[in-house]
Structure 1
Amino acid sequence: MTSGLDDVVAAETVLSEVDGLGGHLTIRGHALRDLAGRRDFAGVTHLLFDGFFDDLPNEKTLAARLGRARVEVFERVKPLLPALAGPSVYDGMRAGTALMPDGDTLEDALRLIAAPAVLTPALLRMRKGLDVVAPNAAAGHAADMLAMLTGTVANRELAAALDTYLVTVCDHGLNASTFAARVVASTQAGLTSVALAGLGALKGPLHGGAPGPVIAMLDAIAATGDAAGWLSKELAEGRRIMGFGHRIYRVRDPRADVLKTVVRRIGPEGAAGRRLAFAETVEQAALETLKRAKPDRVLQTNVEFYTALLLEAAGFPEEAFTCVFAAGRMAGWIAHAREQQATGRLIRPQSRYIGPVPDLVA
């Protein structure tokens, strides 16, 4: 039996392919590098949904309907925000998402995509004692997220960077959360049930919870002033270097390069520029340290490293990084759910019992 289901093909999909040896990510027939920064998140959502909703409108109309969905979600959850702000931001966002109708229409799908985008800024502001900011249906999805977070019109460069991030993480093969979503979809459950399965899997530190510790690592290294020494000590004590290595990629994660380029555009000067320059120094030290310590393994920079820098620059606190990840991945989960329901069977793998055997002979 293959541990962790490595190399087991559990589904056929037209949505995305992860080429771990070549370092390529394909989404609906397009290389990631040809989508990121060239088609906005609503446009890529349209690409993912194409063929899975009979009433799918054109890209412009879909973007407008996504804007209206943000407003609808806000009105639905606004009275409940004080209660949702009590748990962690992620738990509050997940609980708020659970309030969406568990249907399978395009409107249901758009509300689910809107939910983390609306709930995350609102809960962050409430936890600071600030008034929540209503969404603007006419704004772009990423720009509206930032406006709801800061209370001001989004900086154009930051909005473009966040939009590229959402595109970059919208789908990535049959990862843990997407597989969980497809399992639930295979039972013919509604899309909210699918979304909650994805959110549950994404919360784990080995999946969507990984970018946050990158910031803690950078801060710790900055405090010591000795990147190589700090990294070597972490490895000697059996801890992971966050932002490096990937279960699938045996070369550099292509999403890391996309996000690195975006981060460079945000602020080549000032605090953001200094932070990036320092991170690049840490990245190089980490790659060298990992190569010396683990010469038999390929541990290249992954998407988590520059995700952390981008979301920090956009103003999201570390505790909300996974929420923003969910805001992008939700579109992929829904597309996979619709594909599974249209083309797949109930997912019911076998297990091998290895416990004690009772005496069944009387």
Structure 2
Amino acid sequence: MIQPGLKGVVATETKISHIDGEKGRLIYRGYDVKELTEHDSFEEVAYLLWFGVLPTAKELTKFNEELKSHRTLSSYLKTILDSLPREMDMMSVLRTVVSAEGSLHYTSKPTIQQCMKLTSMMPTMIAYRNHSLQGTPFVEPRQDLGHVENYLYMLHGVLPTKAQTNALETYMILTMEHGMNASTFSARVTASTESDLISAVTSAIGTMKGPLHGGAPSEVIHLLEEIGCTANTEQVLRRKLENREKLMGFGHRVYKTHDPRAVALKSTLLKQVGEDEWLDLALYVENTAVELLEEYKPGRSLYTNVEFYAAAIMKAIHMDPSLFTPTFTASRIVGWTAHILEQSQNNTIYRPESKYTGRIL
């Protein structure tokens, strides 16, 4: 029996994450992701996905020091970033520059140290290219800042507020890993040939670039901008539903109830009610939309997905839409590399069959 897109086909076993779509749970190495966003940093969750356990205080200090040591880009990578056409989109830039990072250091079996280096470098790649396009001086990474705080600092040249850092850190933890999605599968297929880590990550970036997978939450921003203020919410949403338009940011292919990532993001944003008009609007729109969706599509259980609140966060931290998917990539690289490591430890090359439907002469 053919399963288009391999939907429902179990192709491997993993200890990295588990998605329970019926109950709305996302588990990283046995831990509920919502609990991780409340108690742990980006670095601690990355350690968990790579090593399988949360770090001790001593282990975390050493881990942070090593991550920070890889933030600076080599001169040849900066030259490549400067040489690429201005019209090249950021995901294509990342695909090219990550590929160029490939060297003799990555020809051996994938290691956690390789994963750390690539994860640490990616925010710097994005920030460097963004400043180049804007015609502004590149902001060098700071060694006294955490991974997410430093990313925002490099992008904007000023220290972010604690609320901004917490919001983006929550988002980046929630999007680190999400099972055997298209880009993760792509990475594992490449790794299964015993190719190097750089090649596998490059495959994943190329897959993430596709709008059906890594499409940024730009459409959610368009919806919120069209609504503009709380007074317009019901009128705009009713018009869209009556015209059979899709409400962007609602519903998910996997989750049949609340998307746990959206729940965790909302929990973070509720701490900032009244501090940002855009976030307040998003919270109001969600409540109204869920009520109207139940009215127009009863029994469908359509709730907000992670993209809805991701859009609100990106807007609140003044991130340009061109950086949405690259930022998603800067978090998902942790999950990709964890899967690459797992694939290399118990490898079988992927080789599915296909059914020929052409002519036989």
- Regarding TM over 0.5, the answer is yes
- Is structure 2 residue 58 aligned with structure 1 residue 80? no
Which of 329, 346, 350 is 2:349 aligned to? 346
Mean CA deviation greater in 204-213 or 183-192:
204-213
Matched, 1:139 2:140: no
> Could you tell me how far apart the structure 2 residues matched to 1:278 and 1:51 are?
39
Whole-angstrom distance in 2 between the partners of 1:144 and 1:76: 22
* TM-aligned CA deviation for residue 75 of structure 1: 4.6
Cα distance in structure 1, aligned partners of 2:223 and 2:134: 25
Which amino acid counterpart does residue 258 of structure 1 have in structure 2? Answer: A
CA distance in 1: counterparts of 2:126 and 2:97, whole angstroms: 10
Q: What's the CA shift string for 1:233-273, capped at 9, x where partnerless? A: 444555432111111100010000111122233x4334x2x
Question: Aligned residues, how many?
Answer: 350
Structure 1: tracts of 5 or more residues without a match: none
Q: Does 1:126 align with 2:128?
A: no
Q: Residue 112 of structure 1 contacts residue 195 of structure 1 at CA under 8 Å; is this kept in 2?
A: no
In the alignment, which of 311, 321, 324 is matched to residue 321 of structure 1? 324
Residues 97-116 of structure 1: CA deviation (Å, up to 9, x unaligned) = 22212512333222221233
Q: So what's the TM-score if we normalise by structure 2?
A: 0.90
- Deviation by residue 1:98-157 (Cα, 9 ceiling, x = unmatched): 221251233322222123311222222222211011112332100110110111223222
Residue deviations 1:333-360 (CA, integer Å, cap 9, x gap) = 00001101111310111111223x313x
The answer as to whether partners of 1:20 and 1:251 remain within 8 angstroms in 2 is yes
Q: Which residue of 2 aligns with 1:29?
A: 30
| Correspondence for 2:273 among 268, 274, 278 | 268
1:300-332 deviations in Å (ceiling 9; x for gaps): 110001111112222211111111111111010
Deviations 1:48-91 (A, max 9, x none): 11169xxxx922212211111112x3655223332247112232
Displacement, 1:287?
1.9
Separation in 2, partners of 1:51, 1:258: 22
**Matched residue, 1:40:** 41
- When normalised by structure 1's length, the TM-score is 0.89
The structure-2 alpha-carbon separation of the partners of 1:110 and 1:255, relative to structure 1 and needing over 3 Å to count, comes to same
Contact 2:99–2:202 under 8 Å retained in 1: yes
Residue in structure 1 matched with residue 118 of structure 2 by the alignment: 112
Percent of pairs with identical residues: 35
1:331–1:349 distance in 2 versus 1, CA, 3 Å: same
Deviation at 1:28, TM superposition (A): 0.5
- 1:101 correspondence with 2:108: no
* Aligned-CA RMSD value: 2.2
Q: Give 3-state SS (helix, strand or coil) of 1:333's partner.
A: helix
Query: Residue 172 in 1 paired to residue 178 in 2?
Result: yes
Q: Match of 1:287?
A: 290
Q: Give CA-to-partner distance per residue, 1:152-205, whole Å, 9 cap, x none.
A: 223222222222221111111111111111111111111111111111221222
Tell which deviates more after alignment, 217-226 or 170-179. Answer: 217-226
